[in-house]
Amino acid sequence: MYKNTEIQVDLCVVGAGSVGLFAVYEAGVLNLQCHVIDISPVAGIRIDKDEKWLRKMLLEKIKDFNPGFSLGETIIGINYGGNGYNVV
């Protein structure tokens, strides 16, 4: 979806599991704009099936913060570009 596109955010979260989604929530509370990158095609898909309620709750909580998602993507590098870091 965002291939070869520059996205400027306050925080790039690597991983859309429970910890990554909670990081987006915490950052949103602090008025930080986030973008999430995960190799899985669906956010929170690897959360244990007994904890699917957690996935649903976290996705609902972060909705108001409008985070961006790049799902089904692989990170091959992180470079410092002078004005911040570039995730490739």
In whole angstroms, what is the distance from residue 71 CA to residue 23 CA?
16
In this model, does residue 80 exceed pLDDT 90?
no
The pLDDT tens digits for 36-61 are: 999 999 888 777 777 888 889 999 99
Cβ atoms 79, 88 nearer than 8 A:
yes
Query: Average pLDDT of 24-44?
Result: 94
CATH of region 11-87: 3.50.50.60
pLDDT at residue 1, rounded to an integer:
53
pLDDT at residue 26, rounded to an integer:
97
Query: What's the pTM?
Result: 0.85
Percent of the residues in the chain that have a pLDDT greater than 90, as a whole number: 53
Nearest Cα to Cα of residue 13 among 61, 32, 3: 32
